[in-house]
Chains A and B, each alone.
Chain A
Amino acid sequence: MQAPPASAPRALDAGARDRVRSSRGAVEEKGEKRVILGVGTDILNMQRLHDILEAESDSFVRKVFTAREREQAAESPDPVSYYATRFSGKEAVFKCFGIHGNVRLSEIEILDGETGQPYVTLSGQLNGIAADKGIRSVLISLSCENEYAVAFAVAQD
């Protein structure tokens, strides 16, 4: 199959239409320019998490995941993939903040929205750190295939 020419129109979902990357690297959201303040990525071998969940599920899960994440995992057809992508996502968010300190993984909540697109909610000290850094939102993309879960996060003002 021949690749479409670069100038071919592409279908954009509603979110994409509102967030069009400008030529200067900023992201325009509904006409407002958003500056990227950090990016982070992570990859996780899902077998590693599978083994942990089998051996020490309760304590580990309570330390890492919020109550709402645990609820969504329980409803998921594949809880291991759900937890693996969230864990990877939390790591990616930490990396895009570029911080150390008294922060807990459960201060990052990554839930599936109504359309399945994940979204990030910060709490606790991380919320304050975000405010200090001028971060107003964090975008996240999660994926998994066979052995690995991957995540990519973008912090923006």
Chain B
Amino acid sequence: MELKEEILKKIIERASQIFKKPPEEFKGETKFVDDLKAKSVNYVQIITILADTYDVDIPFMEFRRKKTLGEAAAYVAQLLGE
């Protein structure tokens, strides 16, 4: 599995727990704010699990600019050098 897809899967797993919806309801196009009504603490929750899993430092403000789960996954993959 491509790293970006692996990260997206991880984000969806976490988003499913945070927003209490089945993983099937999340896609790369799912929007943090418009679809999930995500708050700042929710971004940190996702950053925390990704940082711990991939041992990468993820800047909060840049991560929070990402509109969709897919964009967030691509950003983290980029941080990891992909």
Please list the residues of chain A having a beta carbon within 8 angstroms of any beta carbon in chain B.
42, 44-45, 48-49, 52, 56, 59-60, 63-64, 87, 91, 94, 99-105
- Are B60 and A105 interface neighbours, CB within 8 A? yes
B 53-73 contacts with A by CB, 8 A? 57, 59-62, 65
Asked whether, in the complex, the Cβ of B39 is within 8 Å of the Cβ of A100, the reply is no
Chain B residues closer than 8 Å to A94, beta-carbon distance: 61
A100, B61: Cβ atoms under 8 Å?
Answer: yes
Interface centre among B49, B52, B57, B61, by most chain A C-beta atoms within 10 angstroms, is B61
- The answer to whether A48 and B41 touch (CB under 8 A), given A56-B48, A59-B48, A59-B52, is yes
A-B contact pairs, 19 of them (CB 8 A): A42-B40, A44-B40, A59-B48, A59-B49, A59-B52, A60-B45, A60-B48, A63-B47, A63-B48, A63-B51, A87-B40, A91-B40, A94-B61, A100-B65, A101-B62, A102-B59, A102-B61, A104-B60, A104-B61
